[in-house]
Amino acid sequence: MSINYVKPIKIDLKNHPELNEKWVQQIIAQDPSVIGLGDLILKDKERIQPHAGRLDLLLQDEDATKRFEIEIQLGKTDESHIIRTIEYWDIEKKRFPQYEHCAVIIAEDITSRFLNVISLFNGSIPLIAIQMSAIKVGESISLMFTTVLDQLTLGFVDEDEEVSETTDRNYWEQIRGTKQTVSLADEILELIKTVSPDFELKYNKFYIGLAKNGQPNNFIIFRPQRNVMRFELRIPKSETIENKIDTAGLDMLDYDNKWGRYRIKISKDDIKINKDFIIELIKTAYEK
């Protein structure tokens, strides 16, 4: 089988006589997934900002919990666009605090100098930098987007153990939960040990976690309450997983997007009836 090779030609959008920022904006608006940040939805474009110009694009995740303030620049990054990106992010965050917000700058050339400047903000300001390339192949033109600076990922619960106040079993049995609800964590721990035998419970002020050979590994955490126990599994959001949880008849409360956890309310009968499925969930969380 013969495959023809066609040499791509890189296009300088900033100096192109026909293609411009509006064209790029329209391409992204029609299909936000092209920038590589997941299945996003267009919320608005050319969004007027009070006393601050217009936001190129406002995108939102499909769960309607996180918004991305997008600033597009042809050519090299410069001070004005970086400031504008942060300013629009700040305005939207203050206007709509119920959402998580992330600033995104898209440019043809994100120079090392400005990449260093942007890096200083990452963490205190959630900011993503994406480098854009326009490529011509034959008579067609394509845009390629490469994330060169990603948003700083929040640490997992176990990564904050050194500042987490430890307690003991009595605290959970007498104050936060009951002996009955805490015992449900024991039952699930026995299922966890079928996957990896060296785990034990670790009692913290806000949750009961897991430790293996003395080291925290909270791929599952427990929150016993007075009448029920909630357990949370760190598993990427998946429609398949959710369908299985629903079919099993387990009471899924929600998905915690911030920490990437399914939160499930569970009873003694649930553990007995769905033992095999719970082990399947444990394996999935442990292997991620």
Count of the separate structural domains present in the chain: 2
Nearest to 107 by CA among 195, 35, 17, 205: 35
- Residue 254 CB contacts under 8 Å (≥ 6 apart), including other chains: 263
Beta strands 140-149 and 199-203 are unpaired
> How far are the Cα atoms of 49, 56, 101, 214 from residue 59, in angstroms, in the given order?
15, 10, 10, 43
Claim to verify: residue 136 and residue 165 sit in the same structural domain: no
116-154 tens-digit pLDDT: 777 676 567 888 889 999 998 888 889 999 988 876 544
CA–CA separation, 156 vs 103, rounded Å? 22
| Residue at 4 is within a domain | no
End position of a domain, from candidates 149, 172, 205 = 149
CATH code for position 48: 3.40.1350.10
How many Cα atoms occupy the beta-carbon half-sphere of 83 within 13 Å?
Answer: 5
Q: Do residues 105 and 130 make contact, with C-beta atoms less than 8 angstroms apart?
A: yes
Domain containing residue 64: 9-149
Give the pLDDT confidence score for residue 164 in this predicted structure: 54
| Residue at 232 is within a domain | yes
224-262 tens-digit pLDDT: 988 889 999 999 988 899 999 999 999 998 888 778 899
Give the pLDDT confidence score for residue 227 in this predicted structure: 85
Q: Do residues 208 and 172 make contact, with C-beta atoms less than 8 angstroms apart?
A: yes
CA–CA separation, 49 vs 86, rounded Å? 12
End position of a domain, from candidates 83, 117, 149 = 149
Claim to verify: residue 177 and residue 144 sit in the same structural domain: no
CA–CA separation, 78 vs 35, rounded Å? 21
Claim to verify: residue 74 and residue 176 sit in the same structural domain: no
Claim to verify: residue 109 and residue 215 sit in the same structural domain: no
End position of a domain, from candidates 105, 128, 149 = 149
Whether the pLDDT of residue 161 is over 50: the answer is no
- Residue 42 CB contacts under 8 Å (≥ 6 apart), including other chains: 29, 32, 57, 58, 59
Q: What percent of the chain has pLDDT over 90?
A: 49
CA–CA separation, 270 vs 122, rounded Å? 43
Using pLDDT thresholds of 50, 70 and 90, give the confidence band for residue 104. Answer: very high
In angstroms, the first-to-last Cα distance of the chain is 39
Cα 55 to chain centroid distance, Å, stands at 23
CA–CA separation, 279 vs 123, rounded Å? 36
The model's pTM is: 0.54
Claim to verify: residue 115 and residue 134 sit in the same structural domain: yes
Claim to verify: residue 245 and residue 167 sit in the same structural domain: yes
